[in-house]
Amino acid sequence: MPINFLTTPIDYLNGVGPARADLLRKELGITNYGDLANFFPNRYVDRTKFHKIGQLVPEAAQVQVIGRLISIGTAGAGKATRLVATLADDSGRMELVWFKGQKFFKDSLKTNEVYVVYGKVSRYGSMYSIAHPDIELLKEFKGRQHTAMTPIYPSTEQLVKRKLTNQYFVRLMRQLYSEIKSAFFETLPDDLMRDQQLMSKNEAMHQIHFPSSNKALQQAMKRLKFEELFFIQMELLLQNRIRKTKIKSYAFETVGDHFHNFYNYNLPFELTGAQKRVVKEIRADMANGSHMNRLLQGDVGSGKTIVAVLTCLLAIDNGFQACIMAPTEILAQQHYAGVSELLAPTGLNVSLLTGSVKTKDRRVIHEELEDGSLNILIGTHALIEDKVKFQNLGVAIVDEQHRFGVAQRAKLWKKNDFPPHVLVMTATPIPRTLAMSLYGDLDISIIDELPPGRKEIQTVHRYDKDRLRVFKFIKDEIAKGRQVYIVYPLIQESETLDYKDLMDGYESIVREFPNPQYQVSIVHGQMKPDDKDYEMQRFVKGETQIMVATTVIEVGVNVPNASVMIIESAERFGLSQLHQLRGRVGRGADQSYCILMTSHKLSAEAKTRLETMVRTTDGFEIAEVDLKLRGPGDIMGTRQSGVMELRIADIVKDNELLAQARNAAIKFLNEDPSIGLDKHQSVRRVMNHLQNKKGLWKYIS
């Protein structure tokens, strides 16, 4: 079958027609035969087993019953009206109930006919019932039942309202396959299928909709999931290769005096093995004239800033400028303070550009940028304004890059004739499976060890009833000269409520820790920037012992003397945020602590999050748990279009298969970089088609 047969409009399939075609397009994006063939079930049920009504138990899982419909009628009044039918077999009776679509079922169901009913059982009084069951005549059921496992297709409210039931989709799929037969072209080469022990495309596409057994279904799912993940990895790896071979950047061949002098004489500490490895990877990237596009992952406190400084020095040694862009003014100021202090002995010119920089200072920065006398510019979104022109930007470093939009990052890359080398940094550990999909076209460096001398933060979970014990502990730590954070949640939908929570908390802290013995700072999002900075600086200088705050201190405050992080209502935070907040302490040589305060009312997911925080400080392990809890869609704070919209694979559940697919794609491209061998025609055809369709995976059939 030629591939273009799958582009036949869905309107032409028997059983669809113009009205249903419009609904399928609008609700499910099904526009043609290919879309329907790739509309996979989201679960399966065994419809070969039947229960007697007399053997049912309350709240059973989905059950299937054969019985005669002996009555049907309306019960209740007003909004409580419902359609109730009575089904009977030789062991007893039960009710079938419909709250929606009552007219349709009342008109289509017939008394004294034998039906097959499927659904979840409930019990009211002495009578069992199933609400909104799947129901069809026994003779129709026998006429179409050819598989052990019945597919259940995804649906929407509009489809249900318009009577496009699961039975309709099962019939529609049979009609589709009666027309297209077994004519899907093979997309994978024979040797790859043998290596991975995969069934053929034709067999997989048939078994996924009409499984002959559970074993055959599992084999079909493996085949189709592997294919989807393999071609995603092929595209990502090819993008990486194209960028390295076709997108040119500046070759930083020199490792000069600025780098050597700083490394040998001004480094405040010995680099960890991980930091040395990452710097070596960056040096190699920037030396060969191809464009560096590298993601640097490092847990909170792992030492990414020093790597950024050394990267900037490599650019400066080769006659270029560098910039560091951060998502918030606080974080930009922290970077500026840290980098300026580190580079003070070198005499290099470092400036800060944010929205609050005064016009006259801005003018100086613009002039120094253009005449090349400004070596490193650190700032926020202000860096991408059209007025900001570099003489020769050699490297752009972006911190917490997932907080910037693609268009914002692109503006920074267009500051030169050639794109600058790019290093994107994140302190949010990205699970390996997610990194392979989100950033498969980037090179990835990981700082996976903390600087020597850092003690692991001790984390405990305490309930509200333990508050007096916690206060006693805080007083003991302050008596040792330590400082304490107390953080309250900030949820956007309820800023007023959060502000009240914060102020109530602040008042109780001030009562417990009164002046003049204790000094307490408060910081929240509704404060003026100057007031916020004033309070933060008091805490940084050690003038206050306690900082009561919302999550504004999640990033941007570096106080080595702060050794205790109290997180109030910790159940209201996500795992990633809890880990980021915990990273505000543990920056000095003293033992640090994180105390998670909650009420006793906790959901199962909240318990999992808290148990994970207490068990481990490994950001990558925490990220894996977070991915399993939240799913891939929103873990990075943004949906990555295309890559994440998988048809059948799941990067969380299928992480082992994803790794196999990536390794297979790497092996394939090492053997045949141009995909030109005759035996790889099928792969070349798919890749060309995907490229033309801009990565629409649904066309790989």
Q: How many beta carbons lie within 10 A of that of residue 289, not counting itself?
A: 13
The pLDDT value given to residue 630: 73
The pLDDT value given to residue 645: 61
* Residue-wise pLDDT tens digits, 443-452: 888 888 877 7
Q: Nearest Cα to 313, choosing from 376, 378, 266?
A: 376
The H or E element that residue 63 is part of is strand 62-75
The pLDDT value given to residue 408: 56
Alpha helix stretches (DSSP H) within 254-380: 257-261, 273-287, 304-317, 329-343, 359-371
Tell me which of 558 and 548 has the higher pLDDT: 548
* Residue-wise pLDDT tens digits, 245-268: 777 778 898 899 999 999 999 888
CA 133 to chain centre: 35
The pLDDT value given to residue 202: 92
Say if 257-447 and 458-616 have the same CATH topology: yes
- Enter the DSSP assignment of 263: I
SS (H, E, C) 371-382: HCCCCEEEECHH
Answer whether 327's CB lies under 8 Å from 294's CB. Answer: no
> What's the rounded mean pLDDT across residues 654-682?
91
Q: Name every residue whose Cβ is closer than 8 Å to that of residue 250 and which is 6 or more positions away in sequence.
A: 286, 289, 318, 320, 394, 418, 420, 421
End-to-end CA distance of the chain: 11
* Residue-wise pLDDT tens digits, 173-218: 999 998 887 768 899 999 999 999 999 999 999 999 999 888 999 9
The pLDDT value given to residue 438: 62
Q: What angle do CA 362, 363, 366 make, to 5 degrees?
A: 85
CATH hierarchy code of domain 458-616: 3.40.50.300
The pLDDT value given to residue 226: 96
Answer whether 569's CB lies under 8 Å from 488's CB. Answer: yes
pLDDT at 694 exceeding the cut of 60: no
Rounded CA separation 661/437 (Å) = 11
Q: Name every residue whose Cβ is closer than 8 Å to that of residue 57 and which is 6 or more positions away in sequence.
A: 121
* Residue-wise pLDDT tens digits, 173-184: 999 998 887 768
Phi, psi of 695 (to 5 degrees): 75, 30
Radius of gyration of the chain (CA): 31
Tell me which of 61 and 626 has the higher pLDDT: 626
The pLDDT value given to residue 5: 67
pLDDT at 640 exceeding the cut of 80: no
Q: How many beta carbons lie within 10 A of that of residue 485, not counting itself?
A: 25
Answer whether 226's CB lies under 8 Å from 196's CB. Answer: yes
The H or E element that residue 171 is part of is helix 166-180
* Residue-wise pLDDT tens digits, 478-525: 999 999 999 998 644 455 555 557 788 888 999 999 988 999 999 887
> What's the rounded mean pLDDT across residues 385-408?
76
Answer whether 195's CB lies under 8 Å from 665's CB. Answer: no
Answer whether 552's CB lies under 8 Å from 523's CB. Answer: yes
pLDDT at 472 exceeding the cut of 90: yes
Rounded CA separation 430/147 (Å) = 41
* Residue-wise pLDDT tens digits, 61-100: 678 899 999 999 998 888 888 999 999 999 999 999 998 8
List the structure tokens of 654.
Answer: 């299928």
Tell me which of 45 and 614 has the higher pLDDT: 614
Confidence of residue 632 (pLDDT cuts 50, 70, 90): low
* Residue-wise pLDDT tens digits, 329-350: 878 888 898 899 999 999 999 9
Answer whether 153's CB lies under 8 Å from 166's CB. Answer: yes
Global confidence as pTM? 0.65
List the structure tokens of 692.
Answer: 């033309």
What is the CATH T-level fold of the domain 49-144, as seen in this structure? OB fold (Dihydrolipoamide Acetyltransferase, E2P) (2.40.50)
The pLDDT value given to residue 491: 47
DSSP assignment string, 401-440: GGGS-HHHHHHHHTTSSSPPEEEEEESS---HHHHHHHST
Report the mean per-residue pLDDT for the chain. 85
Q: Name every residue whose Cβ is closer than 8 Å to that of residue 159 and which is 6 or more positions away in sequence.
A: 23, 27, 28
* Residue-wise pLDDT tens digits, 18-27: 999 999 999 9
- Percent helix, strand and coil across the chain, each to the nearest 5: 45, 20, 35
The pLDDT value given to residue 336: 92
- Mean pLDDT check: name the lowest of 389-398, 400-409, 442-451, 569-578: 400-409
The pLDDT value given to residue 637: 42
Widest Cα–Cα separation across the chain: 95
Answer whether 690's CB lies under 8 Å from 699's CB. Answer: yes
Q: Residue 480, SS3?
A: coil
Answer whether 13's CB lies under 8 Å from 33's CB. Answer: yes
> What's the rounded mean pLDDT across residues 287-310?
86
The pLDDT value given to residue 446: 87
DSSP assignment string, 532-600: HHHHHHHHHTTS-SEEEE-GGGSSS---TTEEEEEETTGGGS-HHHHHHHHTTS--SSS--EEEEEE-S
Neighbour-count burial for 490-507, b at 16+ CB within 10 Å, e otherwise: beeeeeeebbebbeebbe
Q: Nearest Cα to 325, choosing from 222, 473, 460, 424?
A: 424
> What's the rounded mean pLDDT across residues 560-573?
92
Q: Name every residue whose Cβ is closer than 8 Å to that of residue 602 and which is 6 or more positions away in sequence.
A: 571, 610
Length, in residues, of the chain: 701
* Residue-wise pLDDT tens digits, 126-175: 788 998 888 888 888 877 655 667 898 988 888 888 888 888 899 899 99
The 8 Å CB, 24+ separation contacts for 260-266 are 261/346, 262/309, 262/310, 262/313, 262/342, 262/343, 262/346, 263/310, 265/345, 266/342, 266/343, 266/345, 266/346
Confidence of residue 635 (pLDDT cuts 50, 70, 90): very low
The H or E element that residue 168 is part of is helix 166-180
Taking each helix axis from N to C terminus, what angle separates 619-630 and 604-615, rounded to the nearest 10 degrees? Answer: 170
The pLDDT value given to residue 224: 95
pLDDT at 14 exceeding the cut of 80: yes
DSSP assignment string, 596-658: EEE-S---HHHHHHHHHHHH---HHHHHHHHHHHH-STTTTSS--TTTS--SS--TTTTHHHH
The pLDDT value given to residue 343: 94
Tokens 């990502």, residue located: 236
The domain limits of the chain are 1-47+148-183, 49-144, 200-246+649-700, 257-447, 458-616
Q: Does domain 257-447 bear CATH number 3.40.50.150?
A: no
Q: Residue 46, SS3?
A: strand
Q: Name every residue whose Cβ is closer than 8 Å to that of residue 670 and which is 6 or more positions away in sequence.
A: none
Answer whether 140's CB lies under 8 Å from 115's CB. Answer: no
pLDDT at 407 exceeding the cut of 90: no
